[in-house]
Structure 1
Amino acid sequence: MAVPAPGDGALPRLRHLLLALLAGRAPAELAGLDQEAWHGLDRMAALHRLQPLLHHHHRADPAIPDSLRAGWAEAYRASALASLVLAADLTATTALLEQAGMAPLALKGAWLAWHAYPHPALRPMRDLDLLLTPDTVIPAFELLQAHGYRQEGAQHLTLEETVRLDKHMPPLVSPRGTVIELHQRLWEVDGRMDHAAPAAREAAIRARAIRSGPLAYLAPQDTLAHLVIHAVYDHRLDCGPLVLSDIAFLLAAAPVDWDAFWAEARAGGWQRGAGLVLALVKVHAPDAQVTLPADLPPCPADLADLSTGLLLQELDTRQSAGVAATLTAAGPGAFLRRILARRKGADDVRDVTRDLSSEGGFAAWAGMRLVRTVRDLARREVRDQSRDLARLSRWLDA
């Protein structure tokens, strides 16, 4: 049976305790949690794929109820088995593409799980991300379909419009059941979010790619940049607190040229987001070798607090909160485009309206979206979520 989200007053406390557990600490306040609070904490852990890592840190910790430790151990075992399938699909998929003359690069979790974490089970993945180029991504997509990979879900844009307006193609599912996302760019195009997207110097990033055995990856320093931009600019932190562990384990596994990193951040316009995420990492893992530049202004205290909450935000209300945040942060024009299911790229060639026929047509979709948004915003925690998302977007653009 699903456990409901904890009430407003309990959420900040549980979030604080869960982040402490994720960092390997066991605060004394754990002794005061009742069964309902433990269920709420475990619910958040499951939602954000944290249970295997909690098992790693606390499998023998008597402060954790036996039932939770047993559940975390089972999540670890399931993740270990899933990692075997993921490894096989990662090798097979990249081999298919390379044999066709393409040069896929494995992103984020594919490198972290097998090269930064102590065991790949500690870094569960919902999918495998592979970077192609805008010129090769459609042929790659069609090649995989010809080898039995099936498209997941409805396709709202043509493939050509997807390449122009999105960062990745519609998800594919491998014959083994792994979700594969083929990316044509590393992060979102400008115009997709309520704040400006960072500039991308992808040619230089691709040139720095590394190989390990049969697979090619972003260089660790570029993986760090990708983690930061993906977390704060592409997702406004709804990727969850796993990003903090990702960065802590990355920094322990690979050296970073901090002068070069911050020079890239300034050139791309993403130094604010990088400063925020890395400041959160320093709180999460004080021993992590993070270097912040002396001229980087500190994050406002309220922004650091709300960012901690956004890392553990409710995922089933993020769309409603995001719609409302768009009205606050980006104005009525951007809000109207979201409600009208329109997308506009940085090239300003034209607006494209998504094909929603598979969802009952535009009128049905817009009506359902508005009804759900209004219903969700009746809850105080969703209004807070929306306010915090808008605050983050405004600060990123300040």
Structure 2
Amino acid sequence: MSPPLKLVRRGLQDTTEVLAMELALALPGTEMPRWNELEWRLATAAAVAHGISPLLCRFSTWQRPAWRRFLVEQRGHVAQRHERIAALLRRIDDDARVAGVPLMALKGAALHALGLYAPGDRPMADIDLLVDDANVDAATALLTALGYEASFVQWKHRVFKPAGLPPVTGLGEHRDTPINIELHTRIHERLPVATVDITAQVRPHAAQPGLNAYPSAGALMNHLLLHAAGNICGRSLRLIHLNDIALLATRMAPGDWAPLWADSAPWWALPPLRLVARYYRDAVPKAVLSRLERACPPLLRLFARRQTLTRLSCSNLWLNALPGLEWSRSPADAARYLKNRLRPTQESIEERADMVRTQAWLQGQDWVTLGHRRRLLTWLTRPVPRMDTLYVVGKALEYGT
């Protein structure tokens, strides 16, 4: 029998915030929480949802046997999957050099290449690659030769999946999970409707055939912050995103932050850095926060001061009917956003259909197949739980039984 959703909601909130402090402070000897069995299972769900199980295996000192077994198991799966990802990246690099195609390995792959994470520390859901428009067809041919097929296209990227490999379902990471590849031609986010594009700041100035690195630590930080901003706007932030930013920030000298202001004031960067500063003390220079405060719109600046990880992530069980509205920088942006919520664009409808078709956590869920008007009416009459959160909670409740 499933526990009441109100109990799940409260348990996710409590366990998420405790886990965030446990990881961010990384203090040995932290007292183990006095959670009941349901709360411990919700803690495993939160750790999985936020991508931090392998790191907790290193830093958490709590000696509850079932908890330790789960963390050790997760770290083992991530380490084995990392070997597969590293081998695939080497193959892509070699083939791209031969084909004369410049590519750029993004986010998680770049963080590993800098040594910020050891193998097994950080889960990678997929490999993200940046290619210029002129080389999209050549990159697609390269991936096809590696046994990949196009799965779907959305405004941010093209998704490629290994041909003939079924998804692996279960709680958390698994060594045999297929490695998807997302091919990007731009680095951009909709916040919530106006697009912020930082491709020019992120792309190497003289990219060579093969895999290229970010031109600087500041360029990588720029991308991590924009990616986190997009996830905050959509209420899908993960603690691993904040951990990425905190680790990189501690390696940066004051001058390394300059790429953030390369073309214009990064008005969108304050909310993610405020959250990092909330959980990771002294990771973000105060001078950077002060400068970003001046660039941030007043409503968003106020929003950034009051938020927690739980409120901006899937640990908040209830769906938000208007996620990201506070990111609108003008009445016109807000009106356009509300119009799109009331009457989705054809692009949004197609993206939703692709998600229903490709995401395991949406299979068999009546909510996602309801018409838009029915969903709006439901939102107005009762709280609606997030399907992705219910999926991982369900797997956590089944784990080990």
TM range (shorter): 0.7 to 0.9
Give deviations 1:73-98, integer Å, cap 9, x for gaps: 11001100000000011111232233
Query: What SS does the aligned partner of 1:123 have?
Result: coil
Give deviations 1:319-367, integer Å, cap 9, x for gaps: 97659999977444222442x5336xxxxxxxx977969989xxx9874
Counterpart pick for 2:346 among 341, 344, 353: 341
- The answer as to whether partners of 2:246 and 2:280 remain within 8 angstroms in 1 is yes
Q: C-alpha distance in 2, partners of 1:358/1:258?
A: 38
Query: What SS does the aligned partner of 1:221 have?
Result: helix
Change (3 A) 1:332 1:305: closer
Stretches of structure 1 lacking an aligned partner (at least 5 in a row):
344-351, 384-398
Q: Which residue of 1 aligns with 2:33?
A: 31
- The answer as to whether partners of 1:151 and 1:170 remain within 8 angstroms in 2 is yes
Change (3 A) 1:256 1:324: closer
Q: C-alpha distance in 1, partners of 2:301/2:325?
A: 23
Q: C-alpha distance in 2, partners of 1:358/1:68?
A: 32
Q: C-alpha distance in 2, partners of 1:303/1:355?
A: 29
Change (3 A) 1:358 1:194: closer
Cα-Cα RMSD: 4.0
- The answer as to whether partners of 1:12 and 1:309 remain within 8 angstroms in 2 is yes
Give deviations 1:42-98, integer Å, cap 9, x for gaps: 21111222100111101xx2x442211111011001100000000011111232233
- The answer as to whether partners of 1:53 and 1:123 remain within 8 angstroms in 2 is yes
Give deviations 1:209-245, integer Å, cap 9, x for gaps: 789xx74221321111101001113652514111111
Query: What SS does the aligned partner of 2:309 have?
Result: helix
Q: Tell me how far 1:31 sits from its aligned partner.
A: 3.4
Q: Which residue of 1 aligns with 2:13?
A: 12
> What is the TM-score when the length of structure 2 is the normalising length?
0.72
Q: Which residue of 1 aligns with 2:221?
A: 224
Q: Tell me how far 1:302 sits from its aligned partner.
A: 5.3
Q: Where has structure 1 moved over 6 Å in runs of 4 or more?
A: 1-5, 26-29, 323-329, 352-355, 357-360
Q: Which residue of 2 aligns with 1:313?
A: 314
Q: Which residue of 2 aligns with 1:248?
A: 246
Q: How does 1:119-130 map to 2 (within 5 A)?
A: 119-130=118-129
Q: Which residue of 2 aligns with 1:396?
A: none
Q: Which residue of 1 aligns with 2:156?
A: 167
Q: C-alpha distance in 2, partners of 1:353/1:8?
A: 31
- The answer as to whether partners of 1:262 and 1:293 remain within 8 angstroms in 2 is no
Give deviations 1:99-120, integer Å, cap 9, x for gaps: 2221000000001124243413
Q: Which residue of 2 aligns with 1:142?
A: 141
Give deviations 1:9-44, integer Å, cap 9, x for gaps: 444332221211221247977533222212112211
Q: C-alpha distance in 2, partners of 1:100/1:187?
A: 27
- The answer as to whether partners of 2:148 and 2:160 remain within 8 angstroms in 1 is no
Q: C-alpha distance in 1, partners of 2:31/2:382?
A: 28
Q: C-alpha distance in 2, partners of 1:37/1:358?
A: 30
> What is the TM-score when the length of structure 1 is the normalising length?
0.73
Farther off after superposition, 219-228 or 27-36: 27-36
Query: What SS does the aligned partner of 1:40 have?
Result: helix
Q: Which residue of 1 aligns with 2:261?
A: 263
Query: What SS does the aligned partner of 1:120 have?
Result: coil
- The answer as to whether partners of 1:341 and 1:353 remain within 8 angstroms in 2 is yes
Q: Tell me how far 1:186 sits from its aligned partner.
A: 1.0
Q: How does 1:281-360 map to 2 (within 5 A)?
A: 281-290=276-285, 291-292=287-288, 294-297=290-293, 303-314=304-315, 322=323, 330-338=336-344, 340-342=345-347
- The answer as to whether partners of 1:128 and 1:179 remain within 8 angstroms in 2 is yes
Q: C-alpha distance in 1, partners of 2:104/2:85?
A: 15
Q: C-alpha distance in 1, partners of 2:76/2:284?
A: 31
- The answer as to whether partners of 2:54 and 2:71 remain within 8 angstroms in 1 is yes
Q: C-alpha distance in 1, partners of 2:50/2:9?
A: 19
